[in-house]
Structures are given as C-alpha cells and as structure tokens.
Amino acid sequence: MAPDDAPDGPAGGSVRPVLLTVDDDPAVSRAVARDLRRRYGRDYRVLRADSGADALGALREVKLRGEPVAAVLADYRMPQMDGVELLEAAMDLFPSARRVLLTAYADTTAAIRAINDVDLDHYLLKPWNPPEEKLYPVLDGLLERWNAEPVRPPDEVVVIGDRWSARSFAVRDFLARNEVPYRWLLAGQPEAERLLTASGQPSDGARTLPVVLAPVADGCPEVLLDPDDTTLADHVGLTTRPQREFYDLAIVGGGPAGLGAAVYGASEGLRTVLVEEHATGGQAGQSSRIENYLGFPDGLSGAQLADRARRQVAKFGAETLTARTVTGLERSGGSRVVRFSDGTSVAAHTVLLATGVAYRTLEGPGLAEFTGRGVYYGAALSEVTACADEDVFVVGAANSAGQSAVNLARAARSVTMLVRGPSIEASMSAYLVEQIRALPNVRVLTCTEVTAAAGDERLSSITLRDRQSGRERTVDAQHVFVFIGAAPRTGWLDGAVQRDDHGFVLAGPDLVVDGQRPPGWNPARDPYHLETSMPGVFVAGDVRADSVKRVASAVGEGAMAVMLVHRYLAQQ
C-alpha cells in the first residue's frame, strides 16, 4: 500500500476523505495516483494498492481510524480478486463511497455486470488521457454528490438488548432498513455489561433495554434508553424535521411510488419533501430479491433498489423526513397541510399519498404476543442471519413470500411455506415457482393456516390447521415470517378523501358517478386520473384503489402523479 505524499490537508487539521485506486499494473497504479493527487491532493488523501487483498486491508485500516472514503477506483482485470469483487467487498465497509471501475475496451461487459452487482457509479475506459477531459469531470461530479450527502456520525451505533425482546428487534430492524451500520450486543456478554455499567445502567436486573449508544462528533457516545423511532433517527444522522416552511409537493410514503415521485418532482424543479414513517423502500425494500424489474436481468434486492432511489432523491435535492407519523390531512386556503403525531405539520401546494400497504397480521392465541420474538411480518432483515441451520416457516403465497423463502433457503436447514390456498401458482410469478420447486430444503404445505403460537420467552411452537379436514397439529417453530396480503394505511384519512370499502383511496374516474363529481369538489373540471376527492391531493402505488401491485407500476404512477401536479399548479 502506498500512501500519498501530499501536504497534511486543509486548514484546521480536519481529516481528509480517502481516494483509493487499485491496479495490479504498478505503472498504471502510479499514473492514476499521480493524476488524482494533482487535482485532489489538497482536499483528499490518495492511497493506491496493487491487489484487491491489499486494497481491502487498507480499507479496514481506514475504517478502524474512523476516516471517510469518498471513492474507490478499481481495475477490473486483477488476479485472485477482480475489480467487481473488490468493489462489492468495499460496499460493506463504506457503502456511500463512490465506485468506479477501470476497464479496457474489451471489458465493457464487466462494466454492465458491475452496474447490476455493485451499483457502479461510473466506469472508465483505459487509457483515460487527457485526465482533464476524461477523468476529472467524472470524479468532480461523483465527489460533488458524495460531499452533498448528509454526514452521519463517525462511528458505528451500538445496540444492547435482549435477543427475544420485541423492542430490541424493532430498533435493529429500523436501523437495518435505513441502512445505518450498527453493532448488536446481547445483555450478559462481557462487553455489553461493561458498556451498560459505563452508561449508568444498574447491574441488579432493573434495567431499561434496549440501550443504544449513539456516537457524537468529538465526544463520548450518547446513551439512549429504549428510544422511540424519532429520537433514534435524530441521533443516527437521519433527518426528521423539514428545512422549509412550504413546499410545492409533499409526498407521504417512501415506497417505490413515493421515491419515484420524489425523483421526478425534485429533478423537475419542484420543492419536494418526502415523509416516511419507518424506512424508505416500503414493502419492496424488504424483498430479498426482485428479479422481474426492468433493466436488472440478474435481479437486485429490495434494499439495493431503495438505496439507489434514496441517493437519486438526495442527488436532485428533495428532502426526506424519516420516523414521522402522519395523522391528518386538511385544506388551508390554497395549500394542503399534512399533520404529524407530535403536533407539527408541513404545508405544500400539492400532496401525493403513497403510503402503500401493511402486511395483515395473523389472528389467534399467542400470535400477537410473539410478534418480534419469533413471529415477524415481512423479511425482517435483522433476523435473517439468525436462521442459519434452523427450521423456518414462511406464511403466504405471493411473490414476497416466495422471494423470502428462496433467500432463507440459502442458510436455513429447512423452509416450510404455509399456504392457505390449494397452490402457489395462482398468486406467485412463474419464475419464483420454478425456483422453489428446485430447492431441496423448501417444501410447500397447501390448504394450511396458522391458528396459534406458544412459547415462554420466545416462540417455541405454532399450531397448524388443515383447512380441508379441520384437523390441527402443533409443530416446533422458532422463526415464522408472515406475508399474508395487505391492508391500506389510510385510517388517518378519515373525512379527508374518499376511499372504497376496503380503505383504498379512490381517484380520477372512480370519483365521478353518473356524471356527478365528488361532494365538495370546487374546480370546474373532473378530477385528474390520479387526483383524489380533495383537489391538489394525488394518490399513487398500492394504496390506490384497483392499482397493479407491482414495483414498476408504482414507480410509473409516481412519475405520472408529478406530471399531473405540474398541470394542477399551472392552473392555480
């Protein structure tokens, strides 16, 4: 590893972010480092490595020192570890670092692979001379976007809790879905006990768990005792408060529809704010693998899709508010006001409802009691690793259930799918059905439902009922992942906009009955296609009545909603 020999950085002695270049050809490696130092040496620390292994070692050292990495430039054709494999490993250490692949003219297929596998930011064809035309403009743009992203605390978050505490699970799941790095310690472990004592927690068992140690700049970690999601978000670098008093477009819900609308709205000049209660990505963000989304033939995880969308939202300047619970929507003159549970609000010319849907819950004795302690709704990213060599149950027969079963089967000893209907073919994509049939450790029990759960500190068994014969039996179970249909998150819209009998929001032509517009409708026109019964309030994605429950259609509706917002604003 060769460090740079530039001066000690900008005035004030602040730590310079790292630019790492990796190439097994020493001459090329020196040339890249030379060009980088010439342009960026004053503000960045340039490191170079001659192999993937050396580069990973350098990244680990930088991580231990708490230094940021702004970009990694890796040659594709290297022995032992090629550039794509290195960039994939680098993502685990520095997920926000920009990733650039150096390729020869014959290696453009490698760049396509990297775009799918490691969310490549750019690829450069060698040679790139002159750098003023082919290298610097690319890096200038990448570094500008990297510097524009919110700065998170320099060290990792530490969560100390009980393995089978529902709240400990909820905290870990919140951090995982928002891609906040954290370290999980079980109460009782020596390191956990040392940290609990240092944070003032008693040792006699009368403790408040979970305890979150949130790093702060230039100081000791702040101790959070069983924090709510908003407090947690505030202390781990997520944004919870709006920066403006008024917006052109306020989006409620951060799933594919909301993210798509935020990207298009902000990129087209609308002052845009997106409000999300839990984590951006919605149900799609919890999918272990999406293989039928246009443009990604090798598939990608829901978390990867959500991360890319989040970065696009930030790139175009839209604000994202996390851990905010919306409780009401109302008109106030020409504006629309979205109210939050803490009494605050945000106002905008227009509002887009993109709240998606929530998984329905299992009904029966004990099932609510063990939620977060063995019964999980959705993919529960923080729990997947705990299922290694275990017998796991997946409840449901749609694509989300199938994707979860395939993902869990990679590590679990066995996966049993519990399906209420006579087959999975009716509700699951054919490619998933084929994958499930090919997995030897996955079995499908049809006409079967879960009616009860039992255990002590954690889930230990569930009761299964055969829907044809009515017979019940109890089986051992420690991990049950539930995907049993969805209900719209629209209770907070009572009295604000019209909904159907199931709670889905009506829009456009569905609001005009026998030529009559909805009650209270003022404009001298019919509602636009995605417009609700409140003028200037639109709806997109799964929460819309009769929508197509697919990621691509949700993104498309988000884009269409922005077009209609422009049309609405032009007439005001």
CATH code, 36: 3.40.50.2300
Instruction: Give residue 156's pLDDT band: very low, low, confident or very high (50, 70, 90).
Output: confident
Token readout for 237 is 């670098």
**What is the C-alpha separation between 169 and 378, in angstroms, rounded?**
13
Q: Is residue 197 part of a domain?
A: yes
**Above pLDDT 90, what percent of the chain?**
51
Spatial CB neighbours of 261, under 8 Å, sequence gap ≥ 6: 249, 251, 272, 274, 352, 354, 540, 558, 559, 561, 562
Which residues are 329's β-sheet partners?
338
Helix (H, G, I), strand (E, B) or coil at 363: coil
Last residue of one domain, picked from the residues 196, 227, 258: 227
Residue whose C-alpha is closest to residue 450's, from 344, 357, 368: 368
Q: At 88, phi and psi to the nearest 5?
A: -65, -40
Alpha-carbon distances of 354 from 269, 417, 538, rounded to whole Å: 20, 30, 9
Under 8 Å between Cβ of 347 and 335: yes
Whether 365 maps to a domain, the answer reads no
If asked whether residues 347 and 493 sit together in one domain, one would say yes
Which CATH number goes with the domain that contains 205?
A: 3.40.30
User: What is the spatial distance between Cα 428 and Cα 508, in angstroms, rounded to a whole number?
Assistant: 30
Pairing relation of β-strands 69-75 and 98-103?
Answer: parallel
H or E element at residue 348: strand 345-353
- Report the 10 Å Cβ neighbour count for 490: 20
Span 498-531, pLDDT tens digits? 999 999 999 999 999 988 999 989 999 999 999 9
Q: Assess whether 8 and 120 both reside in one domain.
A: yes
Mean pLDDT of the chain: 87
Residue 364 falls inside a structural domain: no
Residue 196 sits in the same domain as residue 95: no
| Burial group, residue 243, by CB count within 10 angstroms (0-12, 13-18, 19+) | exposed
235: in domain: no
Is-above-0.85 flag for pTM? no
For residue 422, whether the previous peptide bond is cis, meaning omega lies within 30 degrees of 0, is: no
Tell whether 290 and 435 lie within a shared domain.
no
SS3 206: coil
- What are residue 360's DSSP bridge partners? none
Q: Where are the beta strands (DSSP E) in 176-307?
A: 182-186, 211-214, 222-225, 246-252, 272-276
CATH number of the domain that 334 lies in?
3.50.50.60
Any domain includes 363: no
Q: Are residues 439 and 555 in the same domain?
A: no
Q: What is the DSSP string of 314-325?
A: HHTT-EEEES--
The amino acid that residue 56 corresponds to is L
Beta-carbon contacts of residue 419 (< 8 Å; ≥ 6 apart): 396, 397, 444, 445, 446, 447, 448
Residue for token pair 């409840």: 395
Q: Please list the residues that pair with 100 across neighbouring strands.
A: 73, 122
Q: Is 86 helix (H, G, I), strand (E, B) or coil?
A: helix
Place of tokens 């924090």: 227
Per-residue pLDDT tens for 411-427? 899 999 999 999 999 88
Residues 64, 45 share a domain: yes
Q: How far is CA 513 from CA 67, 163, 500, in A?
A: 62, 54, 13
* SS3 at position 352: strand
Choosing from 227, 254, 272, the residue where a domain stops is 227
Residue range of the domain that includes 271 = 246-358+488-570
Instruction: Give the CA count within 13 Å in the CB-facing half-sphere of 333.
Output: 2
Q: Do 96 and 164 sit in the same domain of this protein?
A: no
> pLDDT by residue (tens digit) across 332-388?
988 999 999 999 999 999 999 999 988 888 999 999 999 989 999 887 766 777 788
Residue at token pair 């370290």: 183
Do 36 and 131 sit in the same domain of this protein? yes
The answer to whether 114 and 123 are in contact (CB under 8 A) is yes
Q: How many CB atoms lie within 10 A of CB 95?
A: 11
101-115, 283-297, 467-481, 556-570: range with lowest mean pLDDT: 101-115
Residue 106 pLDDT greater than 70, yes or no: no
Distance CA 404, CA 284 (A): 12
Domain end call among 227, 261, 282:
227
- Residue 551 covered by a domain: yes
In a domain, 529, yes or no: yes
Phi then psi dihedrals of residue 45, to 5 deg: -95, 120
Same domain flag for 19 and 100: yes
Query: pLDDT at position 352, please?
Result: 98
Domain count, the chain: 4
Structure-block tokens of residue 492: 């907070």
Q: What token pair was written down for 270? A: 């609308």
Query: 104 and 58 in one domain?
Result: yes
Sheet holding 414-418, edge to edge: 375-377, 479-482, 391-395, 414-418, 442-445
pLDDT at 98 exceeding the cut of 70: yes
59 in the same domain as 84: yes
Q: What is the pLDDT of residue 6?
A: 38
Tell me what pLDDT residue 385 has: 72
Element (H, E) at 54: helix 52-64
* Residues 82 and 50 grouped into a single domain: yes
**88 in a structural domain:** yes
Confidence of residue 5 (pLDDT cuts 50, 70, 90): very low
